[in-house]
Amino acid sequence: MGCYLNQRTVAKTVCCSGIGVHSGKDVNLTIKPAPENYGIKFIRTDLPDNPSIPARFSMVVDTSLATVIGHDGFIVSTIEHLMATFAGLSIDNAAVELDSYEMPIMDGSAEPFTRLIKEAGVKEQDGPRYYFVVKKPIELKKDGKSVGIYPSSDFRITCTIEFDHPLIKKQTFSAGITEHVFEQEICSARTFGFLHEIEYLKQYGFARGGSLENVVVIDKSAILNNDGLRFPDEFVRHKTLDSIGDFSLLGLPVIGHFVLNKSGHAFNHAFIETFFSEKESWETRTLT
């Protein structure tokens, strides 16, 4: 996330298609330029009157399997990878049209969305870019999980995961999130799941679109994907990717250092509520 003075949008309209990882439904996605102060909005073109919903934490209705936003009786599911891409590439304003209720999973990472936006190009706008600037630490800790944010000169994330599995164990990834770092070190990390969990989800009508094409699948002792991992620590890099997407729902870019331990979508969302309850710990301002 670059520290830009002005807001940014995509320079032209771009499209892609894919399958929803949970719904198994085909979906067409279009990303369009949007005016200043528009933010990121998702538009359901398959519904009457094409209703839209802003990508804000107050619109989150479910975090059990993915980040789901909802409003007025409709939802848009699994938005975190595209939201991470917008945040990682410093895109403030965009209209996202889709013709189903779940985003396409693509290859399980944010790399296809990153390529799409790089293809579109970026247009700098006239309006100033506002930031949340963290002045004092904010922390949330519960049941061995924690998220904190601390004053910093840039946007940073340190993410630690720990799984009782020989191929994962404890992993930590830490970086200042620039566009280059996002593109080279984070965006291509894929979502992962354990074989027994995926089989269980499929029994109950979830993960209908999940496959080795879009999920890193792990059994008791091996990676089942023929091509293996993209990074030795791809698991924690993907959790970092998810977190960038989740925290983008704050609504403004952040200048601060997030430190996460064993967190996920639900706990990240709980932290955002804590963040907004501690208004004395941050301020909103431009960089001019």
The Cα 224–Cα 261 span in angstroms is: 27
Q: Is the dihedral of CA 260, 266, 269, 270 positive or negative?
A: negative
Catalytic site residue 196? no
Domain 131-285 belongs in CATH node 3.30.1700.10: yes
- Mean residue pLDDT of the chain comes to 95
Check residues 115 and 221 and name the one with the higher pLDDT. 115
Tens of pLDDT, residue by residue over 32-75, are: 999 999 999 999 999 999 999 999 999 999 998 889 999 999 99
**Residue pair 23/82 in contact by the 8 Å Cβ criterion:** no
Question: Which segment, 16-25, 41-50, 190-199, is predicted with the most confidence on average?
Answer: 41-50
Domain assignments of the chain as residue spans, ordered by start: 6-128, 131-285
Angle between helices 265-277 and 234-247 (to 10 degrees): 40
What confidence score (pLDDT) does residue 195 get? 86
Output the 3-class SS for 190-255: CCEEEHHHHHHHHHCCCCCCCCCCCCEEECCCCECCCCCCCCCCHHHHHHHHHHHHHHHHHCCCEE
Closest CA to 77 of 107, 98, 51, 94: 98
What CATH number has the domain spanning 6-128? Answer: 3.30.230.20
Q: Which residues contact 176 (CB under 8 A, 6 or more apart)?
A: 154, 155, 156
Q: What is the pTM of this model?
A: 0.95
What confidence score (pLDDT) does residue 234 get? 98
- The dihedral over CA atoms of 277, 52, 188, 91, expressed in degrees to the nearest 10, equals -70
Check residues 84 and 207 and name the one with the higher pLDDT. 84
What confidence score (pLDDT) does residue 16 get? 97
81, 257, 265, 269: the catalytic one is 265
Residue type, 205: G
